[in-house]
């Protein structure tokens, strides 16, 4: 029986697609390669959102070629979609295929034969008329949470972003298929499902019977479900009053929202092609905070965009500091091939890194304050499993995205428990399980 390994870079959608490829390979008779053993087939699922992501993919491909010289090495994903020739020239690469081909892995392996590999490069253009290609996944080995990809592509035109060119326009999974997929995951015992997409807020706009994310959530609210639901990133301009109301009315919704703010400067947002203003963003965050007082609100912040002045950066810093956010993802500007921002005059690299460091310090402070503010509160935790090297202790994730330590037996894995958060230690919240009759607090 041939063995395989799938190496994944990038977003939750890529992670979902890697899980789908792994499941398809197992259906075809492949076995997951055990750790340390040389697999027969290695698939690298790449990201290209930054130059750093490209570099990491190339480094991994070279390392895998040295580590497994006898394996067939295939490369796919967004970097492969953008620049297949560079990847095909790397030593050891047997095949490169794009995001469209990735979705037809089982057919490709079955028809061409994986040992022969077929053509070295197979990358087709992403057709605007092509419908969403469902990728059923029922297993996520090693995970207590499941993902469900319900949307792909992006129809926006942010001046710095390469994603629309490598993912194509927005496409959506039909609502009936969303519901049936969720039922499958519930039957497999998953206690949390993360709805994900390249631009989740655009869900349904391309369907023959137009739908939107608010409508999908209203459908879900009418079902009797045993799991909790989390949403991946939502664009600020897509969180309408209707969507906010649907979020508020959804049983089992995890109070955790990730918003790509990018900048707090009106001029920079305009140059980026972002269709909102800082004051609109502030009002949106405060509305979510009012509706979900315990929610973890995370932001993407892009620093060092061409033309970003010291005053622009300070406006971003002040806005983030004033908002009730739990964490930041900080990205230094990275010029991407073919985007309008690539041609703009860049800021000095040292200044960009300085600004990124300022925001990373703010991120640490925001995260620490959010965790500390939860001490004494009660919340629900999904137990992920035992803590290595610490008998009697479990790790878990709260509904509002807190990393949690709690005492308990290993067979509590994949259970949802109500806990009280007692103290912050090692960047996690030490908790007691309510009703267990036992409270343990670790010393700092």
224-277 pLDDT, tens digit each? 877 899 999 999 999 999 999 999 999 999 999 999 999 999 999 999 999 999
Domain limits for position 194? 132-250
Q: How many independent structural domains does the chain possess?
A: 4
Last residue of a domain, one of 201, 233, 250: 250
pLDDT digits (tens, 9 = 90+) for 15-41: 999 999 999 999 989 999 876 678 999
439 domain-assigned = no
Q: Are 193 and 84 in a shared domain?
A: no
Q: What is residue 136's predicted lDDT score, i.e. its pLDDT?
A: 84
More confident residue, 107 or 23: 23
Does residue 437 carry a pLDDT above 60? no
Q: Are 366 and 340 in a shared domain?
A: yes
Mean pLDDT across 97-123: 76
Assign 443 a pLDDT band (cuts: 50, 70, 90): very low
Q: Are 8 and 111 in a shared domain?
A: yes
CATH code at position 91:
3.40.50.12160
3-state secondary structure the chain: CCEEEEEECCCHHHHHHHHHHHHHHHHCCCEECCCCCCCCEEEEEECCCCHHHHHHHHHHHHHHHHHCCCCEEEEEEHHHHHCHHHHHCCCCEEEEECHHHHCCHHHHHHHHCCCCCCCCEECCCCCCCCCCCCCCCCCCCCCCEEEEEEEECCCCCCCCCCHHHHHCCCEECCHHHHHHHHHHHHHCCCCEEEEEECCHHHCCCCCCCCCCHHHHHHHHHCCCCCCEEEECCCCHHHCCHHHHHHHHCCCCECCEEEEEEECCCHHHHHHHCCCCCHHHHHHHHHHHHHHCCCCEEEEEEEECCCCCCHHHHHHHHHHHHHCCCCEEEEEECCCCCCCHHHHCCCCCHHHHHHHHHHHHHHHHHHHHHHHHHHCCCEEEEEEEEECCCCCCEEEEEECCCCEEEEECCHHHCCCEEEEEEEEEECCEEEEEECCCCCCCCCCC
Last residue of a domain, one of 191, 226, 250: 250
Assign 131 a pLDDT band (cuts: 50, 70, 90): confident
442 domain-assigned = no
Q: Are 229 and 179 in a shared domain?
A: yes
Mean pLDDT across 331-347: 97
200 domain-assigned = yes
Q: What is residue 439's predicted lDDT score, i.e. its pLDDT?
A: 36
């Amino acid at each position: 029986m041939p063995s395989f390994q799938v190496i994944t870079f990038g977003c939750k959608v890529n992670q979902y697609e890697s899980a789908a490829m792994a499941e398809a390979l197992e259906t075809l008779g492949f076995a997951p390669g055990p750790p340390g053993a040389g697999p027969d087939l290695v698939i690298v699922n790449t990201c290209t959102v930054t130059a750093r992501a490209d570099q990491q993919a190339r480094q991994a491909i070279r390392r895998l070629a040295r580590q497994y010289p006898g394996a067939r090495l295939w490369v796919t994903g967004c970097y492969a979609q953008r620049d297949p020739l560079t990847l095909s020239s790397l030593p050891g690469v047997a095949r490169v295929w794009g995001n469209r081909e990735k979705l037809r892995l089982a057919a490709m392996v079955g028809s061409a034969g994986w040992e022969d590999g077929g053509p070295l490069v197979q990358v087709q253009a992403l057709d605007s008329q092509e419908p969403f290609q469902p990728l059923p996944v029922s297993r996520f080995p090693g995970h207590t949470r499941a993902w469900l990809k319900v949307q792909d592509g992006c129809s926006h035109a942010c001046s710095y972003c390469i994603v629309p060119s490598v993912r194509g326009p927005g496409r959506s999974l039909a609502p009936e298929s969303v519901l049936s997929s969720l039922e499958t995951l519930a039957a497999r015992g998953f206690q949390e499902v993360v709805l994900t997409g390249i631009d989740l807020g655009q869900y349904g706009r391309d369907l023959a019977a137009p739908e939107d994310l608010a409508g999908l959530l209203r459908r879900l609210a009418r079902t009797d479900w045993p799991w909790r639901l989390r949403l991946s990133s939502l664009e600020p301009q897509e969180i309408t009053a209707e969507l906010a109301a649907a979020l508020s009315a959804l049983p089992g919704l995890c109070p955790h929202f990730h918003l790509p703010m990018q900048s707090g400067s009106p001029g920079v947002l305009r140059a980026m092609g972002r269709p909102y203003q800082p004051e609109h963003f502030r009002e949106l965050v405060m509305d979510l905070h009012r509706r979900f007082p315990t929610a973890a609100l995370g932001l993407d912040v892009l620093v060092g965009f061409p033309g970003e002045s010291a005053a622009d950066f300070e406006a971003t810093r002040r806005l983030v500091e004033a908002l009730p956010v739990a964490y930041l993802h900080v990205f230094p500007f990275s010029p991407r091939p073919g985007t309008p921002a690539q041609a703009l005059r860049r800021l000095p690299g040292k200044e960009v890194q300085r600004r990124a460091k300022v925001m990373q310090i703010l991120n640490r402070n925001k995260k620490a304050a959010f965790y500390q503010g939860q001490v004494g509160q009660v919340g629900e935790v999904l137990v992920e499993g035992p803590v290595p090297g610490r008998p009697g202790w479990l790790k878990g994730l709260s509904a509002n995205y807190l990393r949690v330590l709690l005492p308990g037996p290993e067979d509590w894995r994949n259970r949802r428990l109500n806990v009280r958060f007692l103290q912050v230690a090692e960047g996690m919240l030490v908790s007691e399980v309510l009703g267990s009759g036992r409270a343990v607090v670790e010393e700092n």
